[in-house]
Chains A and B, each alone.
Chain A
């Protein structure tokens, strides 16, 4: 899922302080799971903002809405009939949702209510860690299902580097060396001999290096 973290309320206040009618727009997908932008967080943020502006003596209409997703036309269309009632929207979906809402509702300012961080997993409640950087050329079959692109600080394809010490990375003693994990996993899979195979030079043009990317699937297009 896409992992996001809440923005400080002060930052959101600064963004919307000159508006009068604001919609707080949540998303039922990834940001709900990482407890940053779901219905609950919409309620908390809206309540806090209402109290802040009321306390400042400023009349402010702050409404709440949470969509199934903000990255698909059909769900974003659900607010088409009400969007004119607001002079700004705070979207607490990931950056994708914020941008898609901004594209769709061209004349309404859309402000982000979360900081979008990475694609990752819920290791335990309240702890999310990165697993994928969407490099566009998955090599997990060769690395025992552990990704050196997202989990190795240097993104090296033939590791570990000299900074790996007692299974930990040199940049942070709490960060596990991805290549240590790969070696252990290959051993467990009884495929350790594959570790000797050199990885070919990776084609980074499918990563961000090639500019913004797109996937075209003519077979599923209408």
Chain B
């Protein structure tokens, strides 16, 4: 397919999106990530039945917390796609990167730099 997608994404592999914990998401932002998104299997297609639904709930929970602390809940998203959907993976990556670039850098990262 030879698809390209932005190189500023760091992929962290997990056995199932159900493994993604809210603390993983929050710590990523605390350490300075500008955005985080979880890519899970299609709803109804989870090998572990409900892993992707759990992940979505945690993403929603993280959104609320990030809104409260002023980082912005829009910086975290959840997407569902099948493992065969390479073009969609690339499309989502481009969209997410564009969105985060529009939002600008993580304010926590900026404050940390200022303090250093």
Give A residues with C-beta under 8 Å from B: 8-10, 40, 43-44, 47-52, 54-57, 59
Contact A51 B23, CB 8 Å, known A44-B65, A57-B111: no
Asked if B46 CB lies within 8 Å of chain A CBs, one says: no
List residues of chain A with CB within 8 A of the CB of B111.
Answer: 54-55, 57
The minimal Cβ–Cβ distance linking B92 to chain A, given in whole angstroms, is 26
What would 22 A/B residue contacts be, using CB atoms closer than 8 Å?
Answer: A8-B68, A40-B23, A44-B22, A48-B65, A48-B69, A49-B69, A50-B30, A51-B70, A51-B71, A51-B108, A52-B68, A52-B69, A54-B111, A54-B112, A55-B70, A55-B71, A55-B108, A55-B111, A56-B70, A57-B111, A57-B114, A59-B115
Across-interface contacts of A43 in B (CB, < 8 A): 23, 26
List 9 tightest A-B contacts by C-beta distance, closest first.
A52-B69, A47-B26, A51-B69, A55-B70, A54-B111, A48-B65, A9-B68, A43-B23, A48-B69
Q: Is the contact region of chain B dominated by helix, strand, or loop, or is it mixed?
A: helix
- Number of residues from B at the complex interface, CB < 8 A: 18
Residues of B within 8 Å of A40, CB to CB, are 23
Q: From B29, which residue of chain A is reached at the shortest CB distance?
A: A51
Identity of the chain B residue whose Cβ is nearest the Cβ of A47 in the assembled complex: B26
| B47 proximal to A (CB < 8 A) | no
B73 CB-CB contact with A under 8 Å: no
- Are A54 and B108 interface neighbours, CB within 8 A? yes
Judge whether B26 and A48 touch: CB under 8 Å: yes
Q: Which residues of chain A are near B108, meaning CB under 8 Å? A: 51, 54-55
Out of A48, A50, A54, A56, which one reaches B68, CB within 8 Å?
A: A48
Tell me whether A51 and B115 are in contact in the complex, defined as CB-CB below 8 angstroms, given that A9-B65, A43-B23, A44-B23 are known contacts.
no
Asked if B27 is at the interface (CB within 8 A of a chain A CB), the reply is: yes
Contact with A along B47-86 (1 / 0, CB 8 A): 0000000000000000001101111000000000000000
Expressed in whole angstroms, the Cα–Cα distance for A122 and B105 within the complex equals 42
Neighbouring B residues of A51 by C-beta, 8 Å: 26, 29-30, 66, 69-71, 108
Taking A9-B68, A44-B22, A47-B27 as given, write out 14 further A-B residue pairs in contact, using a Cβ cutoff of 8 Å, ordered by the A residue number: A8-B68, A44-B23, A44-B26, A44-B65, A48-B26, A48-B68, A48-B69, A49-B69, A51-B26, A54-B108, A54-B111, A54-B112, A57-B111, A57-B114
Chain B residues in 8 Å Cβ range of A8: 68
Within the complex, the shortest CB–CB distance from B48 to chain A, in Å, comes to 16
Chain A residues with CB under 8 A of B68 = 8-10, 48, 52
B69 partner residues in chain A, CB cutoff 8 A: 9, 48-49, 51-52, 55
Chain B, residues 20-33, CB within 8 Å of chain A (1/0): the string is 00110011011000
Q: Is the CB of A52 within 8 A of B70?
A: yes
A-side contacts of B29, CB under 8 Å: 51
Closest Cβ of chain A: how far from B60's Cβ, in Å?
Answer: 14
